[in-house]
Structure 1
Amino acid sequence: MKKVAIITGSSGGIGRACAIALKAEYELALLSRSEKVMMLAEELGALGVQGSVTEKSDLKKLVNLTMGKFGRIDSVVNNTGHPAGGSLLEISEEEWHHGLNLVLLNVAKMAALVTPIMKKQGSGVYVNISTFAATEPSAAFPVSSVLRAGLANYAKLYADEFAVNNIRMNNVLPGYINSFKATAEIVNKIPMKRQGLMEEVAKTVKFLLSDDAAYITGQNIKVDGGLTRSVI
């Protein structure tokens, strides 16, 4: 019997790459604001739900439909887009609140919905797609830098509480990935002198979801070609 994985933000980019990478081994439930998620779900034989990670009602719908169709949830990949950029003092309160909903509260809401299910099953695993800027703040991604640093702490606290239930949570911190075009100046700063591939991030996610990563929890795993300099 295949395990069951939920993937949010899955109509394109890293989320779509994760869906393709996991399809052979998982039954999938996919969520995205874009109607493209329904086409991808049909292509992969998955459950598709059009909705937003910022709306608790959409997350509830996703979880309920997944349980109704598959009867269990083994894994959750929390993936979203980037919140607003811009000069730090020019970011509006609304943009800060939206960013909070988009990259931190989405994980907390999903965990509140799915953790009781995983506890009954006796196992489960979450992987949250974060950013390299969570550990080395970037002026290009101010809201994401601040709030995904909070996500790093959330994952650690979650791991502390639920590791005893055989439920794990880790964050993947991509660098400049080919889901968008980076400038030559940025690429030159990467020790590997290239952007990462969405498929490379997806393979890392697949590993962290697997039993091969059974002793890894509460960690921030960088997939950045050596871009960041911090050693912890």
Structure 2
Amino acid sequence: MGRLWRSHGRVRAGADLAEQPIKKPGNESMTSSRFDLRGKVAIVTGGNGGIGLGMARGLADAGADIAVVGRNEAKSAAAVADLKQRGVKAIAVATDVTDKAAVAAMIDRVVKEFGRIDVLVNNAGMSIRKPPHELELDEWNKVIDTNLTSAFVCSKLAYPALKASGNGKVINIGSMMSIFGASFATAYAASKGGIVQYTRACANAWAPDNIQVNAILPGWIDTDLTRGARQQVSGLHERVLARTPAGRWGDIDDFAGIAVFLASPASNFVTGTAIPVDGGFSVMA
């Protein structure tokens, strides 16, 4: 084909391909630097298990120091031990993310401990599996407060530190229920739909501060939360496998790569997106 060059996404005749930079074997400096999180500090709410732990492991493997935020202190201690084995600093901060004062104290603790915050992962979540006509107001509020309002509070209070970092990253965890409805996940679906719109609003508001805000939409992942759903919803396991092109349930470590991408300079021109990580579940007709 000879000489090609690319303009506005189209390939045209022009510059010789030989003139383009050639990546030589062993020359990984450019690629690795784009995903390098050494010197960065990440907060992961709900980082002591499930998808949160999978993301925390990925961030730690890329060099980030981690603050694990959760209410279960024993699980958080185990997560911190796991992360420290990866050669990074890690602390556990016992926090009720639905309590604004507790979140403020957590942010202060992280800044005092590490001196900065570069990445915030709003992952804390829960579900109460009831159809809408059976759900009580206090149950609705509990799910909304944990899944949606906590993301607002954590992001709002972390914003000054994220801005000061010069290249802050916020990763909000939505769900396939951000796209689909489910009769047994009324409040959960509402909260996760809200996460996507909140992500878009923050992406617009904070772009001038060089803060990128994105959402991850997990599919059916093998966690404690979904094991409960499988026990309650007859035939769910088989239906998920039948609809998922990948032919399996997801694993928490499937979220390591996407977390590193969205936390790193590699995603500096990506903001306001909601990225499914679902083995193709959401694109199956």
TM-score by length of 1: 0.93
Structure-2 separation of matches of 1:43 and 1:34: 16
Cα drift, residue 230 of structure 1: 8.9
- Say if 1:83 and 1:102, in contact at 8 Å, map to a contact too: no
What residue is the counterpart of 2:54 in the other structure? 17
What residue is the counterpart of 1:32 in the other structure? 70
- Say if 1:131 and 1:148, in contact at 8 Å, map to a contact too: yes
Cα 1:104–1:214 shift into 2, 3 Å: same
- Calculate percent identity across the aligned residue pairs: 29
Q: Which has the larger radius of gyration?
A: 2
Deviates most, 20-29 or 161-170: 20-29
Q: Does 1:201 align with 2:252?
A: no
C-alpha distance after superposition, 1:177-229 (max 9, x if no partner): 12244512322121222111211122211111111111111111001111114
- Structure 2 unmatched ranges of 5 or more: 1-37, 85-89, 231-236
- Say if 2:59 and 2:259, in contact at 8 Å, map to a contact too: no
- Say if 2:42 and 2:65, in contact at 8 Å, map to a contact too: yes
- Say if 1:85 and 1:141, in contact at 8 Å, map to a contact too: yes
What residue is the counterpart of 2:43 in the other structure? 6
Give me the CA root mean square deviation. Answer: 1.7
Q: 2:138 aligns with which of 94, 119, 128?
A: 94
What residue is the counterpart of 2:102 in the other structure? 58
Deviates most, 180-189 or 124-133: 180-189
- Say if 2:45 and 2:121, in contact at 8 Å, map to a contact too: yes
The residue matched to 1:30 in structure 2 has which SS?
strand
* Count of residues paired in the alignment: 231
Deviates most, 182-191 or 131-140: 182-191
Query: Which aligned pairs between 1:60-79 and structure 2 lie closer than 5 A?
Result: 60-79=104-123
What residue is the counterpart of 2:198 in the other structure? 154
Cα drift, residue 44 of structure 1: 2.5
Structure-1 separation of matches of 2:79 and 2:55: 12
What residue is the counterpart of 1:224 in the other structure? 278
The residue matched to 2:213 in structure 1 has which SS?
strand
- Structure 1 unmatched ranges of 5 or more: none
C-alpha distance after superposition, 1:106-142 (max 9, x if no partner): 1110111111122233220010111011011222322
